[in-house]
Amino acid sequence: MSKISLHSVNEEIFPDRTSSSAKASSVPTKASTPIKRPFTGTVNTKTEIRRFSLASDKILSGLYSQRSSFISKSQLSLLDRAKQRDESRKITLPVEERVPVRVAIRVRPFVVFRSLTGGYLRKPAICVSMDAHEVRLLNSDHSPSRMQRFPFERCYWSHDGFVRLDNGYLSADSDHERGQQYATQGIIHIQIGQEIVKCLWDGLDSTIIAYGESGSGKSYTLFGTAENKGLALRIYDDLFYQSEKRRITDKDLLWVEVTFSVFEIFDEQAIDLLAEKIKPLNFYKCPKTGYFIQELVEYSIATYKELAAIIERALVNRAVHATSTRRETKYGNLVLRLRLDQRRKMHNKELCRSSTITIIEAAGSELATLAEDPDSNDQWALAAKQFNESLLALEGCLRAWAAQSEKNEATTVSEEENQNTQITGVSKPSKARVPFEDSVLTKLLQKALGLNAYVYMIATIAPEDTSYRTTLRTLQFAEVAKVGVVTVKRNEIFFNDLQKDLKTDIEASKKKLESLQKEERSDDVKKSVEVTKALIKEYEKRMARLKEPLNERMQATELFIQSITSTFGEEGDKKRLPHLSNLSMDPMASDRILHFVFNGDVTVGNDKDNTAVLVGPGIEPIHAVLSRAPSGNIQIEPVSRTAKLLINGHTISKRTELKNNDRILFGSRHVYVYRNPKEEPRTVHFADEPDINYWSAFEEIISNNGIVFSTDNTLEAGVLNRRMLEVLPQIGEANVMAEELEKDVKYDVQLVTPEMQGRLDGQTEIFVSVFHTRYNQRFEWTLRTFEMRLLAMRKLYRRGEQGQNIDVPECADPFFENTDADVRIGTARLYLQPLMYFVRVRENLEVVNFRGEPVGFVETELVPCNDYGDEYTEEDNVFIDNPSELVGKNLSFLVKIHCCKNLPKGYTVCDLLLLRAVSRR
């Protein structure tokens, strides 16, 4: 039986909510029970005398533009008193306000994994230090002169200085030298989350962008674990906590509704993660409110427990979708939107106040470097740009706001100098283009990305020296983003006005539709008809929500929650039943997909009738069968000889009994760990030793297949080991896809020294060797080229799975290299020592390829000459006895290539490299 794991949602979200200070308590405290039913203003409480003080006005001073002067009540008549009371309740917000983008930096602990083969793994060195308002990035030599400093408003140190309590909560360690500096999840919520919750109740939109490279802690910061809830979950819990209090204390509050939706932008498509069938959705542009996603599922939420369960379901669906589309979650941009709708009493009218918090977990920032390929005209570089369009456009928007801010500041300074007048207020925004229309993500989130929202960016960085470059890029981008200034205004409208506006929009859209239907049916007209129909449907949906009782929407949510608990497994099943649990590159996607093995045979394969359905390269219709052995243990058996099945890094071809914590690889990328709670528990590890994860499982597979990781305790070795671990599974996947699609090509990893690349210095790099079996040709790709190609390979493979045509010419096929492209055959070394004596030398040099194999010979001649290129002869008598005579003089020479032998057929070009100068002959 297969189930999906729903992590426990019963834990309290605020183990450190004891005061408004930033100091976290080590003893969890129980928060008040959230309200169980939607609040509609029908709570019976005693009437309280309301007092309005000047202090309460000051709290909202940033939101109110003018205040009514204080007049003694004793001087007012009864009529004047009533009028004054009404005036005090008026909201006189400015039309809009310009506010800065808020940027915070957080550094995580080291991410290391336990070697399952007993091999040596280098412990990384730290390249980051910080205090409350500054990050310092250290180069590999830790030289103070090469230290780079980045000041920020808030810097959160979560690398060390903590201790794990008995309940699993990470608390500051008072005995550690950096214990006072350690930032818990609760501290981040107190300093950022509580401010956002206040904005929500005030009718102001807010956006949180988690930005950083893959594995830097974005998911942990937003979602955390069962014991250490993340910022997003704490904000949501705090919102319901405040709702419970406000329904009693706020007498003007008539009605409250919390609505939630979650989707992901992947490959420039919007994927609804709460829909029954996950598929791309259409989106259209509303002239007044911007783009909207048609048929996006939204749920009205009554309690935090309901919301946590729905988020868990969305994260599970995200993991399933990533698995089914053969990609890592790092390629997707996750978007969570929570809208708080209030109806308040004002001047005997009903005021609608709406606010939204948008939380974006951006794709891995390292993917943006794929678009920075120097050969921007290469079709695969362009394809990579298109694939990561949303991430690039998101960065572009923040850069544009920063550029606008700098222009505005320069304009303001110039006006002050010229006019010698004091300028107050906010300068008019410049007309620099913000690239909202460049991607699906920025189209859908225009308001959230600065048109009407507070923007908070939490940049997460990795402290390992092997991540120096990506950490530097993240800090540099964050430094640009913090200069940006965005616009925010309160979202309020009277209920009657809202209804009138919707009626007007519906009528206008229907008239436009009638007019369009009378025109000729051109492609443009058909598109306009489609958009207009979608707008009418959206307007009518919004109108229906105004009239529909809230209880009916709550019932739909309750039915959805019931379907979750009946269809998906619970935490209790994991503690008592044997099961397979998935492992993923993304820790938040691991342990989400469970396949329980406790009653009858479990079949695994890509056929929909299997108990556990796996899709992707190397998975057969019925790949393997799990059953109960006579001994009572669970056993697994591949169905055919071609079914690739590895257990603990070893290929399995016959029935094998499983043991607790065995690692299983199905096909080329589906990694699972077998758990059997009834078996003897494994030996307890040290506190700092992590559990089995995706990387430790693949390190075991790679090591057992004869590849040895470097044991040098150097930065270069650490970088090589990390990149090798990342690329080898991808190469395996590419080979399986090529085999299934009948591509005559094989891929392999190749280590290339600086000398083999024609450089005098540098580090050994990893290349991907591409061998065309049909033409017997070998090419080398850089890792960046291979990553760009792999994205296109997966896309082509998915098209084949969907039954689409995948016949493309080889010049446009991502699996092949153009046979006419320039290829580095090899390198021949020509030593220049004879020039020190002005001696003419003729040599037959061996040409060696990247693999260290001889591939031919080149006959060369080294000839001294004068500055005009004239060869010296014996009659010139230029020979010298002591090379010191050449110091401070020009040295000119010719390199002649007489012939090449045994080289591969085709046009051959020789590049002559001298130090860093390159000349082509």
Residues forming the annotated binding site? 212-219
Separation between Cα atoms, residue 878 and residue 756, nearest integer Å: 34
Separation between Cα atoms, residue 395 and residue 398, nearest integer Å: 5
For tokens 């205040």, what's the residue?
67
CA neighbours closer than 13 Å in the CB half-sphere of residue 562: 6
One-character DSSP codes across 829-869: ----GGGGGT--EEEEEEEE-TTS-EEEEEEEEEEEE-TTS
Dihedral through CA 417, CA 418, CA 422, CA 425, nearest 10? Answer: -100
Give the contacts of 500 (CB within 8 A, at least 6 positions apart). Answer: none
Separation between Cα atoms, residue 739 and residue 652, nearest integer Å: 21
In which element (H, E) is residue 670 found? Answer: strand 670-675
Q: Is 24 helix (H, G, I), strand (E, B) or coil?
A: coil
Separation between Cα atoms, residue 142 and residue 136, nearest integer Å: 11
Separation between Cα atoms, residue 624 and residue 640, nearest integer Å: 8
For residue 913, what are the β-bridge partners?
918
For residue 137, what are the β-bridge partners?
128, 148
Name the token pair of 550. 């809230």
Give the contacts of 666 (CB within 8 A, at least 6 positions apart). Answer: 604, 614, 618, 619, 623, 624, 644, 645, 672
Q: Specify the pairing of strand 492-494 against strand 485-488.
A: unpaired
Q: Is 703 helix (H, G, I), strand (E, B) or coil?
A: helix
Name the token pair of 433. 């283009």
CA nearest neighbour of 619 among 739, 745, 726: 739
458 with 118: CB under 8 angstroms? no
For tokens 């949510």, what's the residue?
557
901-909 contacts, C-beta under 8 A, 24 or more apart: 901/856, 901/857, 901/858, 901/859, 902/855, 902/856, 902/857, 903/825, 903/847, 903/855, 903/856, 903/858, 904/777, 904/825, 904/855, 904/856, 908/825, 909/822
Torsion angles phi and psi, residue 348, rounded to 5: 60, 20
Neighbours of 85 (CB within 10 A): 13
Give the contacts of 911 (CB within 8 A, at least 6 positions apart). Answer: 758, 918, 919, 920
Residues written for the chain: 921
Give the contacts of 771 (CB within 8 A, at least 6 positions apart). Answer: 745, 746, 747, 748, 777, 778, 779
In which element (H, E) is residue 104 found? Answer: strand 102-107
Question: Could you tell me if residue 142 is left (phi over 0), alpha (psi between -120 and 50 degrees) or otherwise beta?
Answer: left
Torsion angles phi and psi, residue 27, rounded to 5: -110, 120
- State the Cα angle at 31 between 27 and 35, rounded to 5°: 165
Neighbours of 625 (CB within 10 A): 18
Separation between Cα atoms, residue 457 and residue 661, nearest integer Å: 39
Residues making up the annotated binding site for ATP are 212-219
Name the token pair of 220. 């942990």
Separation between Cα atoms, residue 483 and residue 403, nearest integer Å: 8
